[in-house]
């Protein structure tokens, strides 16, 4: 019988694919975020889920942890040492997430679920549903602050990326304007105006309303 070939992924590569797959509009989804303060928490070793998700609900947020494994040896070591159990106090459901063919359903602990990524379909399948835990402790204010800090870091990362893109595009337009030969007279005006319109389009694409700051051209 031929041995099944498992597609190789880098850990963060599969984790990022998963993040975008489960990041629904009615959920808060976090990537590689420590839950709590490393210095002030009384829980001991902090859980750092690969992906952590919960619903935007005051009554039933349904905290879910996704633990990504791309190497079989890593999965087996986690099971043997019981590392996955550190997620139980902060979540109601824990999933192992693996490439298709890496792990068998029977190898997953009773309390945990299994999701597999199918490269051909570019989607995840729940092979085993996790046990819904009723003994989740209430998150303290350190836990919630760590979530807020993570969301702020994410917002700033998106902002910084947008600013880098805008700066690059702005430089292109500036170079174009500088290359205009002003001796062309009226035709030069049109070249500058075209460059300005391109810049405005770029600003609006990234959520900046030029009408708020424009004073004419």
Cβ distance 30 to 153 under 8 Å? no
Range 44-69 average pLDDT: 90
pLDDT at 18: 96
Architecture of the domain whose range is 11-139: 3-Layer(aba) Sandwich (3.40)
Cβ distance 144 to 138 under 8 Å? no
Range 15-44 average pLDDT: 84
CA–CA separation, 88 vs 134, rounded Å?
10
pLDDT at 207: 61
Reported as a pLDDT band with limits 50, 70 and 90, residue 217 is very low
Report the percent of the chain where pLDDT is more than 90: 43
pLDDT at 44: 59
Please give the mean pLDDT across all residues of the chain. Answer: 82
Range 54-75 average pLDDT: 94
Report the percent of the chain where pLDDT is more than 70: 76
Reported as a pLDDT band with limits 50, 70 and 90, residue 187 is low
pLDDT at 214: 45
Beta strand pairing call for 93-99 and 64-68: parallel
Indicate whether 1 pLDDT > 50: no
User: Where is pLDDT greater, at 47 or 191?
Assistant: 47
C-alpha 80 chain-centroid distance: 28
pLDDT at 6: 72
Indicate whether 104 pLDDT > 60: yes
In 3D space, the residue among 157, 90, 100 whose CA is nearest the CA of residue 123 turns out to be: 100
Indicate whether 182 pLDDT > 60: no
Range 124-149 average pLDDT: 85
Range 138-143 average pLDDT: 78
- What tokens were used for 33? 């975020």
What digits encode the pLDDT tens for the residues 73-101?
999 999 999 999 999 988 999 999 999 99
pLDDT at 179: 67
Indicate whether 205 pLDDT > 70: no
């Amino acid at each position: 019988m031929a041995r099944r070939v498992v597609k190789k992924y880098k850990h963060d590569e599969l984790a990022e694919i998963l993040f975008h797959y489960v990041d629904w509009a009615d959920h808060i989804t976090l990537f590689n975020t420590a839950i709590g303060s490393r210095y002030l928490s009384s829980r001991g070793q902090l859980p750092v889920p690969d992906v952590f998700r919960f619903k935007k609900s005051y009554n039933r947020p349904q905290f879910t942890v996704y633990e990504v494994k791309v190497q079989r040896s890593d999965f087996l070591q986690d099971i043997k040492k019981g590392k996955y159990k550190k997620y139980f106090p902060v979540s109601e459901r824990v999933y192992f997430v693996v490439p298709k063919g890496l792990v068998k359903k029977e190898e997953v602990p009773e309390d945990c679920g299994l999701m597999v990524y199918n490269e051909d379909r570019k989607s995840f399948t729940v092979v085993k549903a996790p046990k819904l835990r009723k003994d989740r402790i209430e998150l303290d204010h350190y836990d919630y602050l760590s979530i807020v800090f993570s969301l702020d870091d994410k917002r700033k990362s998106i902002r910084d990326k947008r600013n880098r893109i805008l700066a690059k595009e702005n430089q292109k337009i500036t170079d174009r304007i500088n290359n205009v030969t002003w001796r062309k007279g009226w035709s030069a005006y049109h070249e500058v105006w075209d460059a300005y319109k391109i810049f405005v389009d770029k600003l609006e694409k990234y959520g900046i309303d030029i009408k708020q700051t424009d004073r004419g051209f």
